[in-house]
Structure 1
Amino acid sequence: MTRRSRFFRTAALSLGAVVALSACTASESTESASLAGTTSSPDAPLTVIAEANEIAASVATSRELFDTTPVVVVAPVGEPEAQDVAARAAITLGVPLLIGEATADSEDDAAAAAPADGTDAETTDAEAEVGADADADADADADADATEGAAPEPSPSPAEKSEETTDAVADELDRLSATTALLIGDAADIPAQNGDESDLTVVRADATTRAIERVLGRTIAARTSDNPVLFATELATFETPAAPSTSTPTSGASEIPSVKRPKPIDDTAAIAINGPEQLASIATTRAAGIPVHVLTEGSANPQAEASVIDALHTTPGEKTLALGAAFGAEPALDWKVRTARTGAQLPGGGQLLFADHQFVAIYGTPSTPVLGVLGEQDVAGSVARAQQVAAPYQGLTAKTVVPMFEIIATVAAGGAGPDGNFSNELSAETLRPWIDAAAAAGMYVVIDLQPGRTDFLTQAQQYQSLLELPNVGLALDPEWRLAPDELHLHTIGSVSAAEVNSVTHWLADLTNEKGLPQKMLIVHQFRPSMVTDRQNLDLSRPEIAMLLHVDGQGGQADKQATWANLQRDAPPGVAWGWKNFYDEDAPMLTPEQTISGVQPTPELITYQ
């Protein structure tokens, strides 16, 4: 598309000019009132605006949401206070906010304040030294390039960078067919293209709420805090006029033409990283009628905050816009957003397992007391017992305590059985009432596998219908994983990292495909030999939270030695579980002793 050339003329409208404008013909008035922008929702289910540069991010957001607009607001780069005022104007009008370069005057003021040696007035000695080191490094790099026979590519000068960013804003104004630009504070004029004059009117206003109100002829709510860290969250909830409506002034005379707000985009929700870098993107998104939910916990993962999950779930439509450079590096963001939109939350809240939760489980298999305390009572009794066991931990940790069942679904057998695998499998239908009762009580459930001579993946796939539930995870018990010629109670079994990884990948793919919250994957261990080449365990899939569960029993000195031994050379990032045995420990730790005496504090504490 041929870019329209532009010459920016500042509209200095006096009271007489305003009176003259008010005397325009009826046809001119109708034409002015009909000015309206047009918007389009994003094409993809998930669109990420990940530009780190404020100018580029503002342009990218505008291009994503606005097709045309008669008015554009422009604020100076690196000035959050001015950008916040400009954002309120843009949201009020229903038009994009672009970030441009600052005026030469503001740069001259900064230069005048600098000391004679050229360093910044507020630069510390350490910073000056770092700058000198950086210059030296740059010179060294250039010398190295020259030595290798390749001329170093010159870096763009500040003037060239300014011209590039100015062109980006000018191009966007051109694409939008804007006829008026409201420049806030130190926002620089954009030079004419090819030296030709165009019809763009530029109106300037100081970066204050009062100045903006005078220009717009309407009242704008002022911010409640002067802390730039809080600007993003406040803008996300900034009230916009009901749309569609015309932004006719409500008080005084306006220097901006009346603009009909575009029809709001109603099939999209936005999430944003908290910070002043996102102010323009948030403003443009809100101007397009899209709700914005700011992630406030310092993470780019929407699953980490229950409030964001609820907000995304209750927002109509299926499209999501992610605003912030951190989203560009967030692994599996598509799954995380899709899962958050389902609204399904783990017991204890959120969709991540270990950051804020302390799990306390009872272990066993239904109707089989000899295998653990879970089988000593019926479903309702087991729910009550799990809650009773977990209750003392509530006052011992700042985390949310979550009661849990670990149900042995496949039980190691002394005989081969009809399928020859030395493992008796309970049906998914048999386990479903236990899982439903646990879910109703706000409990998590893990299905435990003792596979005998078959492999873990084969058995796990038999319980896919249960693993598709949001409160169900999986446990692998290598003690009962036999080679073809081995027998239970004669050999302590083992599993390779490759076999565990096959389960990890299958379960992660299932979790991703079904849009489920993160799954717990437990690997039981009390000897190093039980998990061969453990350093090769794959912990890269964010859909899975892997936990190594230390099952040592007996005297506490021996249990602590096993705990320390298994922690040695463990894969970084793995979570940990500890088991208290009612009958085999001498003595069994109290909840207080477990929390204070087992370090690091285990994310899962199991009772058998």
Structure 2
Amino acid sequence: MSAIAVLGMLAACSGQTAGGAYGGRPGGGGTSQASTAHPLPVALTRVTSATVSVQPDTGPVAVTTEFARKLYASAPIVVVASADGTKLPAAVREARAIHAPLLLAPAAAKASATSKATDTAEAQLTAGIQALHPVAVFSMGLSSTATAALAARLPGIRVVRRVADLPMTGDPASLRDVTVLIHASAKASRSVPVVAVTTTAKAAGATVIDMTGADPRADPTVIKALARLRPAAVVAVGAGFGTVTQLTARLAVAETGTQLPGGGQVMFPGRRLIALYGHPETPSLGVLGQQDLPGSIARAKQIAAEYRPLSTVPVVPAFEIIASVAEGSPGPDGSYSYETPVADLLPWVRSATKAGLYVVLDLQPGRASLLQQAKDYKSLLALPNVGLALDPEWKLLPGQRPLKQIGHVDISEVNSVIDWLATLTARDKLPQKLLVLHQFLLSMIAGEQDLDTSHDDLSILIHMDGQGTPGNKQATWNAVTATAPRRVFFGWKNFFVMDHPMLSPGETMTKTPAPVMISYQ
């Protein structure tokens, strides 16, 4: 079922008019007997507050009448066309020309129609027209019988079938602060209600933008338009726009104009990350630290370039930086985890950002709290192109030491980090953030099926970190992907030394499901 989501339409009425009076149609030359001495005003709704509502498509009549009432305080002329599409193109032209709302009459609105559904639709149309206080209704595509029946239900309002019988109207003050988003699927289907709603919007002077999906954050063109327009009201037409709360939050993010490397504000499936893993100061921890900063950026871009011919989505180079490093000594806090100072990581994050890279901060917590360590890097995680990775392998219980066992984390601790990161992202109106969970044994995440994937502000990915022969790694991949919770994405790691042999980009991309993050260590 499609829906029309309406933002910011609770408003006071305005009776402003402008020049451009005409008889019948603009530039029509001369006036008909039905013309009035002065053009009748078209009063549009003045937006005074931003509120969101989601209106289900309960039928073409209800949708078009309710939509028109939210844009027009009053309209001297209302155009009515049949919901079966008869004469719809002509109705669209006339409504646009005279700045009139376009409503749909039930397709079965004939003298012989007695069904309850038809009666209900006719009552909705009648009420919708009366609420607009028109002087005249322009019937287009309705039979003479249906037109007469409509006139009988509208005492005091002329129902006409000729342009020459329409009164003169003035041009309204356009609703330039209103933007209408049209879902691509709705537009492609040439839905009659969508055409009518779009016509009403354009007749009122609203801006109409076509979308490629239902999430405004996923479309770079929509993001740019919303950031430029900063509309006081947005009307989203089509299916899948989510709840009122969800749509409001998504629009707030889109209007910032901030986009992720590769475009858009939704992490996956709109891009593929190719990352160097390691620590800037320790070459033994991974390829990221085996050259200086400019060299690491160049190397990340070079490896990413090898994937572009293999990927149907943009390929984005990335850094996965080990922010907290598991170590053999307990350290001053007894955590067996060294937290790299933010000041030491900042040059890497800034340079990566400037070069168009995404950055993931990896936590090897030891005995420390994952949540507390994440909070320690809050200033970096508040940047739009910085995500977070949790490494359960290095999570220790009291009495345990690194490298003596494979660590594990309880899902409750993971979810606490997810809640905090989602709150930070939503508060700052940031693009979706990536949350990575490293895993090569099912036991590493206790209670994994309770992973919270409900946050619209996060994209959660399980990263398969197994090393060894291709056969062993494939078995690990199969186990990890088969038991993962729903609504997660998957990543793969290639080891230059520990894999025997390391897969080529082409071989890596044969995995099912195709990994959307591929890191190199």
Query: CA 1:602 to 1:474, structure 2 compared with 1: closer, same or farther past 3 Å?
Result: same
Q: Is the 8 A contact 1:411 1:424 kept in 2?
A: yes
Equivalent of 2:46 in 40, 46, 68: 40
Alpha-carbon shift at residue 21 of structure 1 (Å): 5.8
| 1:55-454 alignment runs, 5 A limit | 55-79=61-85, 82-102=87-107, 104=109, 159-186=115-142, 188-189=146-147, 191=149, 198-204=155-161, 215=163, 254-273=164-183, 274-275=186-187, 276=191, 277-295=193-211, 297=212, 299-327=213-241, 332-454=246-368
Deviations 1:538-593 (A, max 9, x none): 22222211111111112222111211222232212321111111111111111122
User: 3-state DSSP class of the match of 1:560?
Assistant: helix
Identity of aligned residues (%): 40
Query: CA 1:509 to 1:196, structure 2 compared with 1: closer, same or farther past 3 Å?
Result: closer
User: 3-state DSSP class of the match of 1:303?
Assistant: helix
Deviations 1:43-69 (A, max 9, x none): 324343433411111112112111111
What residue is the counterpart of 2:8 in the other structure? none
User: 3-state DSSP class of the match of 1:398?
Assistant: coil
Are 1:582 and 2:496 an aligned pair?
Answer: yes
Equivalent of 1:547 in 461, 464, 467: 461
Equivalent of 1:53 in 38, 47, 59: 59
Larger Rg: 1
Deviations 1:321-347 (A, max 9, x none): 222353355882222221112111111
**Unaligned 5+ residue runs, structure 2?**
1-22
User: 3-state DSSP class of the match of 1:588?
Assistant: coil
Q: Is the 8 A contact 1:345 1:517 kept in 2?
A: yes
Distance 2:239 2:480 in 1: 38
Distance 2:150 2:234 in 1: 37
Paired AA for residue 364 in structure 1: G
Number of aligned positions between the proteins: 488
Distance 2:166 2:179 in 1: 29
Alpha-carbon shift at residue 95 of structure 1 (Å): 1.7
Q: Is the 8 A contact 1:45 1:320 kept in 2?
A: no
Deviations 1:177-219 (A, max 9, x none): 10111111127337479x78733111225xxxxxxxxx2xxxx
Paired AA for residue 291 in structure 1: T
Q: Which 4+ runs in 1 deviate beyond 4 A?
A: 18-24, 190-193, 328-331
TM-score w.r.t. length of structure 2: 0.87
Query: CA 1:288 to 1:104, structure 2 compared with 1: closer, same or farther past 3 Å?
Result: closer
Q: Is the 8 A contact 1:40 1:64 kept in 2?
A: no
User: 3-state DSSP class of the match of 2:50?
Assistant: coil
Query: CA 1:50 to 1:192, structure 2 compared with 1: closer, same or farther past 3 Å?
Result: closer
Query: CA 1:104 to 1:535, structure 2 compared with 1: closer, same or farther past 3 Å?
Result: closer
Q: Is the 8 A contact 1:476 1:523 kept in 2?
A: yes
Q: Is the 8 A contact 2:179 2:234 kept in 1?
A: yes
Deviations 1:357-411 (A, max 9, x none): 1211000111211111111222222111110111111112222111010011111
Equivalent of 2:433 in 519, 538, 547: 519
Query: Cα RMSD over matched residues?
Result: 2.7
Are 1:497 and 2:411 an aligned pair?
Answer: yes
Alpha-carbon shift at residue 23 of structure 1 (Å): 7.6
Q: Is the 8 A contact 1:76 1:100 kept in 2?
A: yes
Distance 1:292 1:504 in 2: 36
Distance 1:323 1:67 in 2: 21
Are 1:606 and 2:516 an aligned pair?
Answer: no
User: 3-state DSSP class of the match of 1:563?
Assistant: helix
Alpha-carbon shift at residue 306 of structure 1 (Å): 1.6
User: 3-state DSSP class of the match of 1:387?
Assistant: helix
Distance 2:154 2:258 in 1: 57
Deviations 1:160-179 (A, max 9, x none): 22222212221122221101
Alpha-carbon shift at residue 524 of structure 1 (Å): 0.3
Q: Is the 8 A contact 1:446 1:473 kept in 2?
A: yes
Distance 1:47 1:293 in 2: 19
Distance 1:22 1:601 in 2: 67
**Unaligned 5+ residue runs, structure 1?**
1-12, 109-156, 206-214, 216-253
TM-score w.r.t. length of structure 1: 0.75
Distance 1:22 1:186 in 2: 23
User: 3-state DSSP class of the match of 1:568?
Assistant: helix
Paired AA for residue 173 in structure 1: I
Q: Is the 8 A contact 2:436 2:463 kept in 1?
A: yes
Name whichever structure is richer in helix by fraction: 1
Moved more, 516-525 or 276-285: 276-285
Moved more, 400-409 or 339-348: 339-348
Q: Is the 8 A contact 1:52 1:325 kept in 2?
A: no
Distance 1:387 1:468 in 2: 24
Distance 1:568 1:197 in 2: 63
What residue is the counterpart of 1:129 in the other structure? none
Query: CA 1:270 to 1:394, structure 2 compared with 1: closer, same or farther past 3 Å?
Result: same
User: 3-state DSSP class of the match of 1:327?
Assistant: coil
Deviations 1:414-461 (A, max 9, x none): 222222222111233322222222222221111111111122111111
User: 3-state DSSP class of the match of 1:270?
Assistant: strand
Distance 2:89 2:276 in 1: 53
User: 3-state DSSP class of the match of 1:40?
Assistant: strand
What residue is the counterpart of 1:246 in the other structure? none
Distance 1:52 1:22 in 2: 39
